[in-house]
C-alpha cells in the first residue's frame, strides 16, 4: 500500500459545448485539491492523461493544469497517453513517482473533449488506437474492430445477442443514478435487444446500444504516500496496480481471449492477496458490450465461452454475485478517452468511502478496476481498499 487516493473531483460527462479542454482541467484540479484539503503548494508532481489524437487543436497540454493556480508554476507536469487507458496510465505514473519517493503528493488529471469533432473524424481519431498497417481501413472505425470481435465470438461460442442486450440494459439502468453520467436513461432489455430506427446495427452484430458514448469530461485524483494519507481526511489505498501491454496487431494473438486483461487481473489479485470473490464490485472497460462480456472470462468470473451466461443470470447486476459497472460504465457514463481511467478510480474511491450516492454498492470494501487501451492492448488493473 505505497500510494493512496486522498481526494478527487469529477465533471459532468456529456456534450459540454460551453467547456474547453482547459476549463475542464482547471475545474477538476481546483475541486480535487479542495476535496483533499490541500493547496497547490503541497503538490509535488502533476500527471495529465490526454489522448487527443486530433480531438484538440492544443496538443501540448500538460501545463494547462497550471492554469488552475499560479502556485502550481514550476511543478513538474507530464502528459501521458496509452489510447483508451490513458487515464490509468496517468494514475500509474503518479503511483510510481510515490513508490520511488520522488514525490509525496501527486495530482493526476484526465481530460478529453470529443464532441466538437465531426463524427467521421471521431472514427478516424479512435482508429489510430489500432494497428494501422493491418487494421487502418476497418469500416465503421473502432466500432468496426469490435464488430469483428463480436462476430468471431458468436462464430466460436454461439449467438450472444441476448447477453449483450442484458449487459447494455444493466449499465444503462445503473447509470440513471450517476449524476456525472452522459446518458441517464433506463432503456430496458427489449429496446437494447431489438433492432430499430433508434437502435440500428452499427458494426457486425453490435447495435447502437452496444457502443459507448462520444463524450467530453474530466476527472482528477490526488495521490499521496500511505503515511501522509493517514493524516488526511480520507485514504483509499492501492492494494494492487498492474499494467500489462500486449501486441498491437490483432493478427498476432487470439483476440477473443483478452490475454493481457487476464494477465493483469492475475497479477493484481496475487499481489493484493485476494480473490475475485473478495471484491465488492468492479468497474470494467465496456467500450462495447462484447468487451465487457469477454472481460468476465478474462478476469476469471466465467469460463471461456460462458461470459454470456453470467450476464443472463444477473450475476453482474447490483445485488448479484459481483456487481460490474455500478456507475453505468462507459456505456452510460460516457467515454472521454483521457478521463476514463481517472474517472474509474475516482468513482471507486467514492464507493469505498460511502460517498457514491445512488450508485452506492452497499457495504463496499474492495473495488476492482479494469481499464483497457485499444483492443486489449494496454491493460491496467487496480484493486482499492479504504484504510481511513
Total domains, the chain: 1
pTM: 0.98
For residue 221, pLDDT beyond 80: yes
Looking at residue 140, its pLDDT comes to: 84
Looking at residue 4, what is its pLDDT?
98
Which whole-number Å values give the CA distances from 73 to 43, 60, 171, 183, 342, in the listed order?
11, 16, 41, 37, 23
For the stretch 130-183, pLDDT in tens is: 999 999 998 888 899 999 999 999 999 999 999 999 999 999 999 999 999 999
Q: What is the DSSP string of 146-157?
A: HHHHHHHHHHHH
pLDDT at res. 1: 62
Establish if 169 belongs to a structural domain. Answer: no
pLDDT at 139: 87
Looking at the domain assignment, is residue 66 inside a domain? yes
Could you tell me how far CA 56 lies from the centroid of its own chain?
20
For residue 325, which of 308, 339, 311, 306 has the smallest C-alpha distance? 311
pLDDT digits (tens, 9 = 90+) for 14-54: 999 999 999 999 999 999 999 999 999 999 999 999 999 99
Helix boundaries (H) for the chain: 21-36, 86-99, 119-127, 132-135, 141-157, 161-175, 188-193, 226-229, 259-272, 289-299, 307-312, 329-333, 337-352
CA distances from 67 to 72, 167, 240, 271, 336 (A): 8, 40, 32, 38, 21
Query: What average pLDDT score do residues 358-371 get?
Result: 97
* CATH number of the domain to which 105 belongs: 3.40.47.10
Amino acid 2: pLDDT:
82
CA gyration radius for the chain?
Answer: 19
pLDDT tens for 264-322 read: 999 999 999 999 999 999 999 999 999 999 999 999 999 999 999 999 999 999 999 99
List Cβ neighbours of 33 (8 Å cut-off, separation of 6 or more). 7, 39, 40, 43, 68, 107, 222
- Report angle CA 183, 234, 180 to the nearest 5 degrees: 10
The three grid cell numbers given for residue 26, joined into one nine-digit string: 482547471
pLDDT reported for residue 314: 97
Residue 2 is classified by DSSP as: -
pLDDT 10s digits, 326-335: 999 999 999 9
Q: Is residue 59 part of a domain?
A: yes
Confidence (pLDDT) at 249? 97
Is 220 a domain residue?
yes
**Cell triple for 116:** 466538437
Cα dihedral sign for 354, 358, 362, 365?
negative
Helix (H, G, I), strand (E, B) or coil at 8: strand
Is residue 43 a part of any domain in this protein?
Answer: yes
Residue 103 domain-assigned (yes or no): yes
* Residue-range definition of the domain harbouring residue 57: 3-117+215-229
Of all residues in the chain, what percent carry a pLDDT higher than 90? 97
Query: Does 371 map to a domain?
Result: no
How far apart are the C-alpha atoms of 337 and 84, rounded to whole Å?
5
pLDDT tens digits, one per residue of 86-141: 999 999 999 999 999 999 999 999 999 999 999 889 999 999 999 999 999 988 88
Mean of all residue pLDDT scores within the chain: 97
Amino acid at each position: 500500500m505505497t500510494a493512496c487516493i486522498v481526494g478527487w473531483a469529477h465533471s459532468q460527462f456529456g456534450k459540454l459545448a460551453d467547456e474547453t479542454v482547459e476549463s475542464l482541467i482547471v475545474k477538476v484540479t481546483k475541486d480535487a485539491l479542495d476535496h483533499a484539503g490541500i493547496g497547490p503548494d503541497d503538490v509535488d508532481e502533476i500527471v495529465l492523461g490526454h489522448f487527443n489524437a486530433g480531438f484538440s487543436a492544443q496538443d501540448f497540454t500538460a501545463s494547462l493544469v497550471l492554469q488552475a493556480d499560479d502556485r502550481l508554476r514550476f511543478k513538474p507536469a507530464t502528459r501521458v497517453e496509452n489510447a483508451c487507458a490513458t487515464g490509468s496510465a496517468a494514475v500509474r505514473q503518479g503511483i510510481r513517482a510515490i513508490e520511488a519517493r520522488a514525490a509525496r503528493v501527486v495530482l493526476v488529471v484526465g481530460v478529453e473533449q470529443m464532441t466538437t469533432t465531426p463524427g467521421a473524424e471521431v472514427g478516424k481519431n479512435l482508429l489510430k488506437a489500432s494497428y494501422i498497417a493491418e487494421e487502418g481501413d476497418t469500416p465503421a472505425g473502432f466500432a468496426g474492430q469490435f464488430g469483428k470481435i463480436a462476430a468471431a465470438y458468436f462464430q466460436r461460442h454461439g449467438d450472444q445477442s441476448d447477453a449483450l442486450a442484458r449487459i447494455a440494459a444493466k449499465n444503462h439502468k445503473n447509470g440513471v443514478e450517476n449524476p456525472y453520467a452522459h446518458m441517464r436513461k433506463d432503456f430496458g432489455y427489449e429496446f437494447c435487444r431489438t433492432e430499430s430506427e433508434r437502435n440500428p446495427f452499427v458494426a457486425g452484430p453490435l447495435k447502437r446500444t452496444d457502443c459507448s458514448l462520444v463524450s467530453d469530461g474530466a476527472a482528477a485524483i490526488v495521490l499521496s504516500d500511505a503515511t501522509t494519507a493517514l493524516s488526511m481526511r480520507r485514504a483509499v489505498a492501492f492494494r494492487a496496480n498492474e499494467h500489462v501491454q500486449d501486441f498491437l496487431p490483432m493478427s498476432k494473438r487470439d483476440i477473443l481471449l483478452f490475454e493481457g486483461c487476464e494477465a493483469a487481473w492475475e497479477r493484481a489479485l496475487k499481489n493484493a492477496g485476494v480473490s475475485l470473490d473478495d471484491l465488492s464490485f468492479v468497474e470494467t472497460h465496456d467500450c462495447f458490450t462484447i468487451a465487457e462480456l469477454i472481460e468476465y472470462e478474462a478476469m476469471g468470473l466465467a469460463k471461456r465461452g460462458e461470459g454470456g451466461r453470467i450476464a443472463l443470470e444477473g450475476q453482474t447486476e447490483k445485488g448479484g454475485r459481483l456487481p460490474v459497472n455500478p456507475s453505468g460504465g462507459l456505456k452510460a457514463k460516457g467515454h472521454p478517452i483521457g478521463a476514463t481511467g481517472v474517472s474509474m478510480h475516482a468513482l471507486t474511491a467514492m464507493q469505498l468511502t460511502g460517498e457514491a450516492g445512488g450508485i452506492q454498492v452497499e457495504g463496499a470494501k474492495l473495488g476492482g478496476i479494469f481499464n483497457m487501451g485499444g483492443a486489449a492492448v494496454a491493460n491496467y488493473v487496480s484493486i482499492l481498499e479504504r484504510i481511513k
